Amino acid sequence: MPTLPENRMKRYMQKILHGRNRIELVEVWQQEKISEHETKSLLAIEKAAQEVIEVATDLMAMMLKDTSIPPTDDYTNISRILELGLITKEVGAILKEANGLRNRLIHVYNDVDIDILLESIKRVLPGITEFLNVVEKWLSRN
């Protein structure tokens, strides 16, 4: 892989920092007792989780582009990152689950159950954190 220009490295780091900040917020907010009637809190968690997942999918597309592989849809990008050996199968599975979760958050499929939603968010965050670590390690080789 060619050395990335400084502005491209900066963009990666901005996305990673944004993702880590949002993960931290979600983790703090999820420790609070939230009822299904607290719309503002639930929307805040949903929006922050959505942004975390979008950071991960954006970073995958950027990594593919920077390795001269044209990015496509999110699920194919996850498979390609996996084929490159940059992530484990477990992280790949979590990223696929996270992408499906993001689609449910965006499109609010069939009245999402709040407890299941919060548990799903809690389940995918460690895998996304691991992916952010992978991206940082990958960048350090530049």
Exposure on the CB side of residue 123, measured as CA atoms within 13 A = 15
CA angle 117, 57, 80 (to 5 degrees): 120
Question: Is the CA virtual torsion 22, 28, 29, 30 positive or negative?
Answer: positive
| The model's pTM | 0.90
The pLDDT tens digits along the chain (142 residues) read 668 999 999 999 999 999 999 999 999 988 887 776 677 888 898 899 999 999 999 999 999 999 999 999 999 999 999 999 999 999 999 999 999 888 777 766 556 677 788 888 999 999 999 999 999 999 998 7
95 in a structural domain: yes
Catalytically annotated residues:
102, 107
> Nearest Cα to 66, choosing from 136, 14, 139, 16?
139
Q: Domain containing 52: what range? A: 6-140
pLDDT at 2: 62
User: Contact, 29 vs 41, CB < 8 A?
Assistant: yes
50 in a structural domain: yes
Q: In the chain, how many domains are there?
A: 1
Which three-class secondary structure state does DSSP give residue 63?
helix
123 in a structural domain: yes
Domain of residue 122, CATH code? 1.20.120.580
